Amino acid sequence: MYQADNARYETMKYRRCGKSGLLFPVISLGFWQNFGGINEFETCRETVRKAFDNGITHFDLANNYGPPYGSGEETFGRIMEKDLRPYRDEMLISSKAGYDMWPGPYGNWGSKKYLTASLDQSLKRMKLDYVDIFYHHRPDPETPMEETMDALAQIVRQGKALYVGVSNYSAQETKRASAILKEMGVHLLVHQPSYSMFDRWVEDGLYDVLKEEGMGAVCFSPLAQGLLTKKYFDGITVGSRAARGTFHRQDSLITEENIEKAKKLNELAEERGQALSQMALAWIMAREESVSVISGARNWEQLRENIGFMEKMDFTEDERKRIDEILKQA
C-alpha cells in the first residue's frame, strides 16, 4: 500500500493565492496531456505519487483532458482510489469546463446547464465529493457573463467547489467576472492564464487586475509546451509532443527564431547553474502575482528536474535585462 513520504513538506515552497487563506505549491502538476487513456497508467501513477511525495499538493484537471475526453479525470480517479484517498484533505484538486466536451448544444461554452452537468460528471470520474477549485475554462462571447458566474456561485453554495476561477479571460473580462461574483457574495480567486517567456500577455494588464481584485495566477504551459527545454535544439525529437502531433499552435511556436532564442536563454541558464526549464519556471515565479506554475511533465524524470527550479529562483537586474533582450530579438 502507498505510504506518502514523511518528508514531503520539507523542501516545497508554498505561496498564498491573492487575498485568501489558500496556499499553492509553487509548482503544480497538470493533466492536459500525458495522463489520458492512451498513456501508460503506471507511469501516470508514479508521476502523481512522486509529485505528492515531494510536496506537490495541487493537481490541475479539466473535463476534456485525455485523450479521449474525460480520461485524464478517470486516471486521476483510479490513482485516488488506489493511493491517495487517505490524503484528500492534503490535496488541492481543480477541474474546468468551457471547451468542447459532449455533442449537442449543452456540452460546450458557458451556460449554467453545461457547467453544472459537467462538474457532476467530473466528480464521478475523479471519485470525489467536491473539487477545491472549479474554473470556467474560457470566455463565452454568446452567453451573458451573469449566467456563467451564477453557475459558479451556485456550485460554491452547493459545496461542489470551495473556490472558483476563470481561465483565458482577458484583463477586462476578469474584472467584470470578479465584479459580478462579488455582488453574489463569492470571491473570484484564481485566474489560470498561459504564461511563459514566449507568451507574456499577462503583463499587459491582467496581472494589474489580479492584484486589484485580490486574485492569484496559476500559470499554464510555463515551458511553452517543451520549447523552453533543450529538446527541440536539433529538430523534432522522437516521442516529443511535437512528434506526437499534439503541440498546440506548433507552426507559430516551433520556429527557427524561437529555437535560437531558447539556445541563448540556455547559455544564461548554464551560467546560473540550472537547466533552461528551471530558469524558465523561476522567471515566471519572480512575479509576486504568480502563485504556481502548472507543469505538464510527461514522467517523473521531467518533473523532478522541474521541481529543482526552487533551488535558484532569484534573478539579478543584469540577468533580467539579458532575458528581455534575448526575447525581444527578431
Residues whose CB is less than 8 angstroms from the CB of residue 248 and which lie 6 or more positions away in sequence, other chains included: 221, 225
Give yes or no for a contact between 280 and 222, defined as CB atoms under 8 angstroms apart: yes
Query: Binding to ligand NAP by residue 66, rule CB under 6 A?
Result: no
Distance, in Å, from the CA atom of 51 to the CA atom of 106, rounded to the nearest integer, reads 35
Q: For residue 192, what is the DSSP state? A: E
Distance, in Å, from the CA atom of 166 to the CA atom of 151, rounded to the nearest integer, reads 12
Query: Binding to ligand NAP by residue 31, rule CB under 6 A?
Result: yes
Q: What is the number of other CB atoms lying within 10 angstroms of the CB of residue 329? A: 10
Interacting residue with ligand NAP among 54, 63, 118, 240 (CB under 6 A): 240
If the CB atoms of residues 167 and 185 are measured against ligand NAP, the closer one turns out to be: 167
Q: Which of 82, 81, 63 is nearest to 73 (CA)?
A: 63
**Could you tell me the smallest distance in angstroms from the CB atom of residue 65 to ligand NAP?**
7
Cis peptide before 105 (omega within 30 of 0): no
Distance, in Å, from the CA atom of 105 to the CA atom of 163, rounded to the nearest integer, reads 27
Interacting residue with ligand NAP among 25, 30, 107, 110 (CB under 6 A): 30
Distance, in Å, from the CA atom of 158 to the CA atom of 162, rounded to the nearest integer, reads 9
What binding mask, one character per residue, do residues 176-195 give for ligand NAP by CB under 6 A, x or -? ----------------x---
Query: Binding to ligand NAP by residue 168, rule CB under 6 A?
Result: yes
Interacting residue with ligand NAP among 221, 266, 274, 290 (CB under 6 A): 221
Query: Binding to ligand NAP by residue 64, rule CB under 6 A?
Result: no
**Could you tell me the smallest distance in angstroms from the CB atom of residue 317 to ligand NAP?**
26
Query: Binding to ligand NAP by residue 169, rule CB under 6 A?
Result: no
Query: Binding to ligand NAP by residue 294, rule CB under 6 A?
Result: yes
**Could you tell me the smallest distance in angstroms from the CB atom of residue 269 to ligand NAP?**
12
Select the span of 11-19, 25-33, 198-206, 321-329 touching ligand NAP (CB under 6 A). 25-33
Residue 227 vs residues 41, 44, 62, 101, 253: alpha-carbon distances, Å: 26, 22, 23, 28, 8
Interacting residue with ligand NAP among 54, 122, 148, 167 (CB under 6 A): 167
Residues whose CB is less than 8 angstroms from the CB of residue 237 and which lie 6 or more positions away in sequence, other chains included: 231, 243
Interacting residue with ligand NAP among 52, 195, 207, 220 (CB under 6 A): 220
Query: Binding to ligand NAP by residue 300, rule CB under 6 A?
Result: no
Interacting residue with ligand NAP among 222, 279, 283, 289 (CB under 6 A): 222
Q: Which of 214, 159, 220 is nearest to 189 (CA)?
A: 214
Chain position carrying cell 532564442 = 261
Distance, in Å, from the CA atom of 71 to the CA atom of 2, rounded to the nearest integer, reads 23
Cis peptide before 67 (omega within 30 of 0): yes
**Could you tell me the smallest distance in angstroms from the CB atom of residue 305 to ligand NAP?**
4
Residue nearest to ligand NAP (CB): 296
**Could you tell me the smallest distance in angstroms from the CB atom of residue 107 to ligand NAP?**
17
Q: Which residues pair with 191 in a beta bridge?
A: 166, 217
Query: Binding to ligand NAP by residue 60, rule CB under 6 A?
Result: yes
Query: Binding to ligand NAP by residue 32, rule CB under 6 A?
Result: yes
Binding site for ligand NAP (CB under 6 A): 30-34, 60, 137, 167-168, 192, 220-226, 229, 231, 240-241, 277, 294-298, 302, 305-306
